[in-house]
Chains A and B, each alone.
Chain A
Amino acid sequence: MTFYSPVVTNAKEIAGHEKLHLFEYVEDEKQYQLKRYLEHGGYAAWKTVLGKMKPEEVIEEVKKSGLRGRGGAGFPTGMKWSFVPKDSPKVRYLLCNADESEPGTCKDRVLMERDPHVVIEGMAIGAYAIGCHLMFCYIRGEFHHSIERIEKAMEEAYSKGHLGKNIYGSGYDLEMIVHTGAGAYMCGEETGLINSIEGEKGMARIRPPFPAIEGLWECPTIVNNVESLAAVPHIINRGADWYRSMGTEKSAGTKLFSLSGHINRPGNYEVELGFSLQKLIYDANYGNGISDGKKLKAVIPGGVSTPFLTPDKVDVPLDYESLTEAGSMLGSGGVIVLHEDTCIVWTILKLIKFFRHESCGKCTPCREGTGWLEQIIQKIEDGRGGPDDLEKLDSICGNILGRTICPLGDAAVMPIQSTLKHWRDEWQYHIEHKKCLVNQNFGF
């Protein structure tokens, strides 16, 4: 089988590499096999948990570590787990969100393809912490190789007693199902994902009730991103304090960043939170600068749902708080770099087309608004823009922002709003001159 996977960093050569854990063995071609995984200390955390820890202790440890969700919202993982009602007579579910479909993000895939057991181990520990006996890994349908690797790993784990009945003689039973998606960005949104497993369309649900109270089949349900879960075995093995010691005060640990676009060394990098975005882009061990020696125009720091950063804002630490302060968000860690020849209108048109296509259609502002926005932006891109179009865009974005069921509506308009603010002249130019300000030509 030809095996493709996004390039990763030469992890070992980077200063401070001893702290890297998610990518510690990522370049080991055999790491996906149980044998090698065990050689590298795999399933030790799972054994510790089942042998020595109560579920509350696991939650406490993860809370203490400061781990925050890597799927986009950055919600503290331990705290989320603690929301599952202790006294509920219902069964509980843990869902691993491996839908990775935020444009600009391709990190979860690397973990699943290259280190699938750590994902399963993390899921298992999370499941134990919330008292779940059936967990699902929801992988987007296009990721055939990830699916294959996770399924194989799952079979291996079952056959060696890491999953199944009475694991390690602890009396704990845990089953796992790999559920695959079929092409819908919305199924990455946690309630869309739950609906999708239930056999519904991947539409958002109103909250409350939050999934931790009433999720899959109306039972308490926790949804965690692949990367969040993959960090958990390391936290158990090395301790919450070790994890806390990395990153910043409020953004502990390391995070994977997918660097793409106009960059010399695109790839997935594991860095401590608080790492400089500037460094990530320009350092020779990382992005190594803008491609073709061009100047930087904009950076989308956390996947296409996050507002654009102007070059003067790029000297920012990559952590949840700093990016918010800089006017954007850490999101899923999909850093997209745009060089000077990129037309902002064209870029935004790409994005809004995506969001229109992916809007689930349940709530009015998102369903109707994204289509309307696309039509206006297309008109401007085609050189048919009118003088009041920008105002209209402002107003429509404002009418969507904060008014939708799920954050997709916000995600669709925040990038637009950021460019309307920072590149308004370019928008204006496009309308007045009926063409791009820049001379864009992305050859192939």
Chain B
Amino acid sequence: MILSEKTVKKINDKLSKYPKAKGMILPALTLAYKQLGYVDNEIYIEISEIINVPQLEIAEAASFYTMFPKKPRGKYLLQVCNNISCALLGADAMVDRLEEKLAIKRGETTDDGLFTLISVECLGSCCTAPMIQINDDFHENLTRQKLDELLEGLKNGK
């Protein structure tokens, strides 16, 4: 088993609340992703066995949603909103800057495995644009200086 006992327990707890087991696909994938930072076929099989839903249905769902990376990512997942409200306030330039500072392109991970950079669609932070989501946290109203500080902080393990 790749899924930890804790994750399995959480899945089972939630499973009991759902009228139909298939409804647990998304919650289970989310819990698996939270533990591992990615999901893949082996995980689908494990989930399939826990919630007794065909592996196929889990794989189909997982492929549809963008929040489930299929490969492990860097320690910090930098998601830059690149939709219109952020773009109007320089999100494109912000991504360029990140690419330059981290010496990677969009979709890549730094060699030290610290950062993965991706650009994403609107994250519901339009009034506080531009913004970036780092793992679970939103960082909003960014300026060049704030962004630099943020990166430095993360690099130094803060």
Q: Which residues of A contact B (CB under 8 A)?
A: 2, 4, 6-7, 91, 100-106, 108-109, 134, 140-145, 175, 177, 179-185, 196-203, 217, 258-262, 266-268, 300, 304, 334, 336, 338, 342, 347, 350-351, 354, 357-358, 360, 442-444
- List, sorted by A's number, 7 A–B pairs whose CB atoms are closer than 8 Å: A101-B122, A104-B84, A181-B26, A202-B64, A260-B129, A350-B82, A444-B130
Report which of B17, B83, B88, B123 forms a contact with A354, defined as CB distance below 8 A: B83
Q: Flag if A103 contacts B64 (CB, 8 Å).
A: no
Smallest Cβ distance from B69 to chain A, in angstroms? 10
Q: Flag if B89 contacts A182 (CB, 8 Å).
A: no
- B30 CB within 8 Å of chain A: yes
Q: Flag if B122 contacts A184 (CB, 8 Å).
A: no
- Write out the residue numbers on chain B whose beta carbons fall within 8 Å of the beta carbon of A6: 125-128, 140
Smallest Cβ distance from A113 to chain B, in angstroms? 10
Q: Size range of the interface on B?
A: 35 or more
- Write out the residue numbers on chain A whose beta carbons fall within 8 Å of the beta carbon of B17: 175, 177
Q: Flag if A104 contacts B122 (CB, 8 Å).
A: yes
Of the listed residues A140, A175, A444, the one surrounded by the most CB atoms of chain B closer than 10 A to its CB is A444
Smallest Cβ distance from B104 to chain A, in angstroms? 18
Report which of B22, B68, B79 forms a contact with A182, defined as CB distance below 8 A: B68
Q: Flag if B121 contacts A354 (CB, 8 Å).
A: yes
Q: Which residues of B contact A (CB under 8 A)?
A: 14, 17-20, 22-27, 29-30, 53, 57, 60-61, 64-68, 79, 82-85, 87-94, 97, 120-130, 133, 136-140, 142-144
Of the listed residues A179, A197, A268, A350, the one surrounded by the most CB atoms of chain B closer than 10 A to its CB is A350
Q: Flag if A145 contacts B84 (CB, 8 Å).
A: no
Smallest Cβ distance from A73 to chain B, in angstroms? 19
- Write out the residue numbers on chain A whose beta carbons fall within 8 Å of the beta carbon of B125: 6, 106, 109
Known contacts A4-B138, A442-B90: A106-B124 contact under CB 8 Å: yes
Smallest Cβ distance from A226 to chain B, in angstroms? 11
Known contacts A260-B127, A336-B85, A336-B88: A182-B122 contact under CB 8 Å: no
- Write out the residue numbers on chain B whose beta carbons fall within 8 Å of the beta carbon of A198: 20, 22-23
- Write out the residue numbers on chain A whose beta carbons fall within 8 Å of the beta carbon of B82: 350
A442: nearest chain-B partner, CB-CB: B90
A176: nearest chain-B partner, CB-CB: B17
- Write out the residue numbers on chain A whose beta carbons fall within 8 Å of the beta carbon of B129: 260-261, 266
Smallest Cβ distance from A359 to chain B, in angstroms? 12
A142 to B20, CA, bound (A): 25
Smallest Cβ distance from B20 to chain A, in angstroms? 6
Q: Flag if A105 contacts B61 (CB, 8 Å).
A: no
Q: Flag if B124 contacts A185 (CB, 8 Å).
A: no
Q: Flag if A182 contacts B127 (CB, 8 Å).
A: no
Of the listed residues B68, B84, B130, B140, the one surrounded by the most CB atoms of chain A closer than 10 A to its CB is B84
Known contacts A104-B84, A181-B26, A444-B97: A336-B126 contact under CB 8 Å: yes
- Write out the residue numbers on chain B whose beta carbons fall within 8 Å of the beta carbon of A200: 22, 57, 61
A347 to B86, CA, bound (A): 12
Q: Flag if B64 contacts A357 (CB, 8 Å).
A: no
- Write out the residue numbers on chain B whose beta carbons fall within 8 Å of the beta carbon of A183: 65-68, 120
- Write out the residue numbers on chain A whose beta carbons fall within 8 Å of the beta carbon of B68: 182-183
- Write out the residue numbers on chain B whose beta carbons fall within 8 Å of the beta carbon of A442: 87-90, 92-93
Report which of B30, B66, B120, B137 forms a contact with A180, defined as CB distance below 8 A: B30
A177 to B13, CA, bound (A): 12
Report which of A134, A175, A182 forms a contact with B26, defined as CB distance below 8 A: A182
Smallest Cβ distance from A307 to chain B, in angstroms? 14
Known contacts A4-B139, A184-B65, A442-B92: A100-B124 contact under CB 8 Å: yes
- Write out the residue numbers on chain A whose beta carbons fall within 8 Å of the beta carbon of B120: 183
Of the listed residues A106, A144, A342, A360, the one surrounded by the most CB atoms of chain B closer than 10 A to its CB is A106
- Write out the residue numbers on chain B whose beta carbons fall within 8 Å of the beta carbon of A261: 84-85, 88-89, 126, 129
Q: Which 7 residue pairs are nearest across A and B when measured between Cβ atoms? A: A444-B90, A183-B66, A199-B25, A182-B65, A199-B22, A183-B67, A103-B122
Known contacts A182-B29, A262-B88, A442-B89: A199-B124 contact under CB 8 Å: no
- Write out the residue numbers on chain A whose beta carbons fall within 8 Å of the beta carbon of B19: 91, 134, 217
Report which of A106, A196, A347 forms a contact with B84, defined as CB distance below 8 A: A347
Smallest Cβ distance from A305 to chain B, in angstroms? 12
Q: Flag if B127 contacts A199 (CB, 8 Å).
A: no
